[in-house]
Structure 1
Amino acid sequence: MADRIGFIGLGFMGHGMAANILKKGFALTVMANRRREALDDLVGRGATEVTTPRAMAEACEVVVLCVTGSPQVEALVERPDGLAAAGKPLVIVDCSTSEPASTRRLAAALEPHGITLIDAPLGRTPKDAWEGTLDVMVGGDDAAIDRVRPVLESFAGRVIPTGPVGTGHTMKLLNNFLSMGYAALYSEALMIGAKAGLAPKTFDSVVRGGRMDCGFYQTFFKYVIERDRDAHKFALSNGLKDVTYLASFAQALQVANPIGAAVRNSFAAAVAAGHGQDYVPTLSDFVAAANGVSLTD
């Protein structure tokens, strides 16, 4: 594949993804979003730097976005010096966790200009990004997906087509609803256990290796038991964003989602109390403290 690849969003996930794109032999152009140190590392590995999305679109045929959410994606595409301003054919691969309605709107607006947007949000962790074993849920035209599949496979262990554009982001919201729901359940269960005198290590000794164990449980409890703050590097504010997107999506579908509302309220309370930049497993400490117990005693 001769396409030059652009990458914007070199955060915890994006840095490892971009490094794997380079490792697989693709020519890579990068732009700093918030993390200059990641960009410098990639330039040192052979990437080329640009300073605007338009310049990236002019230099590349495929651009991967891995930013916070829809407002950031929309700005990178539609601002005066954005990707669309280059006025040339382009494939944009949105690996962010975005709102499906925004994704579909952008795709429809870009299509007449020869720009194809596909949504390719991610499952798993920054560790998997570095190891090239992410899950990627891809929504979009089959031909466009086939064109970028070698790029996706450079950082993914599984590439899973989900249907038309927007369905990847829909599946990602559902996936994150499950994971943030687990976080809220674990936190409440740990709090009740602590209130009753049951230590987190005892709780873990029963669940670990049983039917309720899973990969998310293990990273969550690596913090709870070992106090490893980097065990699951995903901020509470991002969790709140994702379950808020789900709430908007459910409202648009005119369905009741009371469990989703309860999960969102758990995250909203922690973020409102000033813990937005703390990682998701720390929700357990917040819930425990709010009920007058500690998980470290």
Structure 2
Amino acid sequence: MKAKKEEDIKTYDSKGFRDKFFESENTISHFFKSNSEHFFCLKIEDINQLKDTIPPSKHICHTLVFITSGVHKMKVGFEEYTTESNEMIIIPAGQIFSIKSIDKETTGIICQFHQEILIGKYGNREMLNDFEFLKIWGNPHVSFQNREAEFILNLLSRLHIEYSETGCINLDIIQPYIITLLSEINKNSIKTNKNITAATTLTTKFKELIYTHIKTQHQVSYYASILNVTPNHLNKSIKSVTGKSPTKWIDETILLEAKYLLYQTNLTINEIAIQVGHYDQSYFSRIFKKHEGVTPIEYRKMIDKS
């Protein structure tokens, strides 16, 4: 039993999938290792030769994936989104995402940037509040009409040229283009979400709170008190908008954070349990296995053998 316990909590230093992935020069590793200015802009077709699977992960930068043809599937948070021509999927900084693969027939542009680029020379921190889709609890999927899609593609194409041909990061060019790009996205995002109900607003605030407090607060009553509603009212509102109860959202957020930590860090199982607010490693492992069908250590081994 003691040997099993030590195996469960040890740090993995062997060259498994995670280590090899982060050391690789694969183009898709740009999702994690952008340059020192935290910006890149690539054509999706340039990374189509890769078959890498990306388990739950996150980045300090915002990522925009605009599709011009084909179908692209990505899981952002708990939800899987299918993105087609003239549509964009947005991965906010700090949001957990995963990819099964990138289809060879899909074309488009991927752009990643740090929020400091928005501040830089022409912006300010207040500007960050103007773009709801860049927040973890915002709507990550935006569709465009043909005319608006042309605007988006032109802006991304200019950023791609700047990134791929100049060999340097010129913020005098990049920052204005990104601000304009986000403003164009915002117009369409607002159109998509113009019919906002009280339940939708409450759901958005709830999502914001659980992402902020998930490491310490797991009770629905806590979030209801912060939002000045009863637990029953919160439950009905969240279920009416998302189809899932607040408890389900809390459990999935805990598991998602745990899976990200199992993949993208070398923390021990015990350390990961503490990170997600479970100070009893055995209880955390039982809960993880109940939902995922495998223990945390088995999940990590599955990734390392991929």
TM-score with structure 1 setting the length: 0.30
Higher relative contact order (CA 8 A, sep 6+): 2
More helix by share: 1
